[in-house]
Amino acid sequence: MDQDLKQILRHYRNPRLARKILEKIHEIAKDLQVVRMMHVCGTHEWTITHWGIRTLLPENVEVRAGPGCPVCITPASDIDSAIKLALDGVNVLTYGDMSRAKGSRMISLEDCGARGGKVGIVYSFMDAVKLARSNPNQEYVFLGAGFETTAPIVAYSVLKGLPENLKIISSHRYVPPAVGLLAESEDLAIDAFINPGHASTISGMKAYKLYFDEVRKPMVFAGFEPLDVLLAIYMILRQIRDRSPKMENEYRRAVTWDGNVDAQKNLREVFDFDDGYWRGVAIVPKSAMNFKEKFSKVDARKIYGLASGKGDHFPLNARCAEVIKGLIDPPECPLYMKRCTPATPIGPTMVGVEGTCRIWAQHKIVGVKCRSGVCKIDSESSPRTKGMPEGG
Amino acid sequence: MNLCYAIPGKVTEIDGEIGVVDFGNGVRREVVLAMVSAKPGDYVLVHAGYAIKVLNEEEAKKTLELYSQILNLVEGR
């Protein structure tokens, strides 16, 4: 190994390279109409916000945050189900920020823990397996949320065999059909997609081919360093200029056409891909990973008779659903940074560490120029006048 | 924790399906390597305690080369 990979990756934050690529972006955008692209990954939103990429782009190039936060799109009814079990004496385990997302009655697993519900936080599904194994007399249920990045972990462990006292609520969702649906939305009118980096290491680019063929809009798979995102934006603009939409791979060090074939095999063996609800978005065809019949003995939905996730439930006056879909920016919600803050999160988009509201709030963004024109921004303007709906 | 993010780290030891991954700055963790075929010295992307992908060093270099190509290219059209 002549040069350690860590050294190579350092170049992906090189400011000189970033400036140059921005020059190219501006050069190419000069001759284009408005270009509206969307990403569907909370970590892309973090990169874009953290490095201030939106403020560096030409006026006519817009990057919108789509539904890329697993915690945000997990149906409220699944959170309700987990809460009910925890209050009935079952040990409910889940990931940290999932435990803070509120269900339909605006109670989270964390709140229910404070009221005597049995709730535990794990970093990894591996920890849930260890816990169940070392306490064989206790009943455990794992609330499994996340995309195809997370789901193979559960599938693999199920195939290997779980301890008898561990069951799973699978709220896992598959991203490619959601991109297909967003690409067809006339409300959103998205011209191109920055496709997810890490979810695509599993699914491969091939999983998006069907949807690309349908809409013929540029799709570039991108990594998470600032230069990755800038290069992806440049690649999209180049495709638009040349009127030759394609699926292109910027994140070649991680994403391949075929993806992680073993992980895909495990997923298809363990789960059916059913039509499933994404909180705030819609029912997305073939996107809900539900346990196949032959794995009923680990399926908490079957064992405890839990409903499958349905129904929009958001706090009164909150505009989480529109934020999740990418229709509005966080400052357009009347609750943003008033009642709903990172310290006192109300909606799921402020709870999830990958939620758009949470990321914007952590970077103290109170306004930007938004497509709707509601919050024509400048960072000086008072947050109190931002995004207030008429009469709100 | 980020449910759609994975962190790169270097595999230092392997014992069956479990490996030790060094994330730098003194952070080392046990990671399940069952979903990838990694060897010591490889960089892997780790998500929620599981390696999901061995990073491709050659491709990382190639993308940077692509940058220089783009930067040297005249976008005259």
Structure tokens at A68: 């890329």
**Cα(A98)–Cα(A143) distance, integer angstroms:** 8
Identify which of B10, B41, B56 has the shortest CB distance to residue A253.
B56
pLDDT in tens, A220-259: 999 999 999 999 999 999 999 999 999 999 999 999 999 9
> What ipTM goes with this model?
0.80
| Window A:49-88, CB contacts with B under 8 Å | 68-71
**Single pTM value for the model:** 0.90
Amino acid at A100: R
Say whether B5 and A227 touch across the interface (CB within 8 A).
no
B71: chain A residues, CB-CB within 8 Å: 17, 20-21, 24
A125: chain B residues, CB-CB within 8 Å: 48-50
Spatial CB neighbours of A148, under 8 Å, sequence gap ≥ 6: A172, A174, A175, A199, A202, A203, A263, A267
Contact A95, A145 (CB under 8 A): yes
Backbone angles phi, psi at A268, to 5 degrees: -70, -25
Helical H runs in A242-347?
261-270, 300-304, 320-325
pLDDT score for A4? 75
Structure tokens at A31: 């001759």
pLDDT in tens, A59-85: 999 999 999 999 999 999 999 999 999
**Cα(A249)–Cα(B26) distance, integer angstroms:** 33
pLDDT of B64 above 80: no
Q: pLDDT-derived band of residue B72, with 50, 70 and 90 as boundaries?
A: low
Q: Could you give the domains of chain A?
A: 1-313 (3.40.50.11750), 318-392 (no CATH)
Tell the burial category of B7 from Cβ atoms under 10 Å away from its Cβ (0-12, 13-18, 19+): middle
Length of chain A: 392
Characterize the bridge pairing of strands A192-195 and A35-39.
parallel
Which class is B7-72 in CATH? mainly beta
Residue A2: closest C-alpha in chain B: B57
CB pairs under 8 A between A and B: 143
Count CB-CB contacts under 10 A for residue A135: 13
Say whether A24 and B48 touch across the interface (CB within 8 A).
no
Residue B35 at interface with chain A, using a CB cutoff of 8 Å: yes
A97: chain B residues, CB-CB within 8 Å: 1
Contact A197, B60 (CB under 8 A): no
CA dihedral A211, A98, A365, A54 (to 10 degrees): -20
What count of Cα atoms within 13 Å lies in the side-chain half-sphere of residue A277?
Answer: 15
Residue A283, beta-bridge partner list: A277
* Chain A nearest C-alpha distance from B57 (Å): 6
How do the pLDDT tens digits run along chain A, 392 residues long?
A: 446 777 888 888 888 889 999 999 999 999 999 999 999 999 999 999 999 999 899 999 999 999 999 999 999 999 999 999 999 999 999 998 899 999 998 999 999 999 999 999 998 899 999 999 999 999 999 999 999 999 999 999 999 999 999 999 999 999 999 999 999 999 899 999 999 999 999 999 999 999 999 999 999 999 999 999 999 999 999 999 999 999 999 999 999 999 999 999 999 999 999 999 999 999 999 999 999 999 999 999 999 999 877 767 899 999 999 999 999 999 999 999 999 999 999 999 999 889 999 999 999 888 655 544 344 444 333 333 333 333 32
The full set of domain ranges for chain B reads 7-72
